[in-house]
Amino acid sequence: MDFTLGLFLAVVLSGLIWLGDLLFLRRKRPAGARESVVVEYARSFFPVLLIVFLIRAFLFEPFQIPSGSMIPTLRVGDFVLVNKFQWGLRLPLIHTPITRGSPVEAGDVMVFRYPKNPRVDYIKRVIGLPGDTIEVRGDALYINNKLVPQKLIGTFNYRPEGQGAEGMVIPTKEYEQELGGHKFHIIEFATPEAQMNFGPYKVPPHSYFMMGDDRDNSNDSRFWGVVPERNIVGKAMFVWFSWDAENWSIRWNQIGRALDGAS
């Protein structure tokens, strides 16, 4: 079950039990008799559940990174905090916008419901805004027929997922790019086999073109299309915890990493 839906049902159930006791059961209870355990728990948990639900639905939501598609920015096991009000508030469960908020910018890191299966959340970087024309030629990205410059940072030692600390390390190229005032790093494999051509493709209205920072290992808009505005969950702000499951250790250097990247 979707966590937000489960939390909502818990709020409703505990609230109804507490309200029912206030309106009906309490009057029939003998003087000095205690309320039932069920009512006691409902009365205790309802305010807490309601506060957690409101914070998660309208303000902030935690999200765990499930794949390496955002390497080197984000690693598997990173926990990020998602801002759910900056781009406009949406009603929980039905996702209907109720406020507009700030506009989405190119370079933002977005959590969204995967268009092919809205029950699954994805995280990628916004590359194309509505009306932009996106094209990829090998390892070069073009937006509106203009090359997006990238500066070579050095070599990034890429370790495929699931191989542990002793797994094979593949040297890749790490670059810095800038979009919409946001500076960030990407990695690309310096082999013709890893490169691909895409587009030109014009982003439809109310939609966004997404790509992972691990450009050659990302299931993104190049393969399944754009993200409709209604699928937005929120803007990823920073890493608040990072756990390396393969080595059973905390990645202290990741904790506190800001994802805004505004220069």
Residues annotated as catalytic are 69, 124
How far apart are alpha carbons 86 and 104 in whole angstroms? 9
Q: What is the Cα–Cα distance from 52 to 85, expressed in whole angstroms?
A: 15
In angstroms, the Cα distances linking 214 to 67, 131, 174, 181, 190 are 10, 25, 10, 20, 13
CB 182 within 8 A of CB 262: yes
Spatial distance between the Cα atoms of 95 and 230, rounded to a whole number of angstroms: 7
